[in-house]
Amino acid sequence: MDYLPNYVGNQPDSLLFAPVRGGCHLSDKVIRDALAPALKSVGLHHVRIHDLRYFAGTQTARVGNVVETMGRLGHSSVGASMRYQHLVSGRCVEIADALSQLARISKTSADIQNISETA
C-alpha cells in the first residue's frame, strides 16, 4: 500500500497524518489509525504506538546522554528519561571501544605533549 499517494495531499505543506474532524493531527487516534493498516500488512498488528516510542527512547539513550534523551522525547524530568538510560546501562564494552578509538585517533606527538604538560 502506498500511503503518500493515497492519503497525503499534493501540496508541499500537506500533513502526513491529517486531523480527524478538525482535531489535532498528532493525536494518538490519528497516528494509530494511520499506522494500524501498515503494521498489519507486515504482520506486526500487535505493535502499539507506545512500543514504537519506547524503541525510539531506548535507541536515543544508546547514543545520547540524559539531557539529549529528555529533549528528544519531550520529558520534563530526569526520572522519566532515566528509564531509558537504565535499559542501556550495560554499555561498558561500547564505551570502552569508543574510548579506545579516541585514544588511537589522538596518538600524535602534539597530543602526547599536551597531556604530559597538564599532568
Tell me which residue of 3, 46, 53 sits closest to 26, measured CA to CA. 53
For the residues of 35-90, what is the DSSP string, one character each? HHHHHHHTT-TT--HHHHHHHHHHHHHHHS-HHHHHHHHT-SSHHHHHHHHHHT--
For the entire predicted model, the pTM comes to 0.51
Give me the tens of pLDDT residue by residue for the chain, a chain 119 residues long.
576 777 778 888 887 777 766 666 667 777 788 788 888 888 988 888 888 888 888 888 888 888 888 888 888 888 888 877 766 666 667 777 877 888 777 665 555 556 556 55
Q: What per-residue confidence (pLDDT) applies to 108?
A: 58
Q: What per-residue confidence (pLDDT) applies to 22?
A: 67
Tell me which residue of 10, 29, 9 sits closest to 19, measured CA to CA. 29
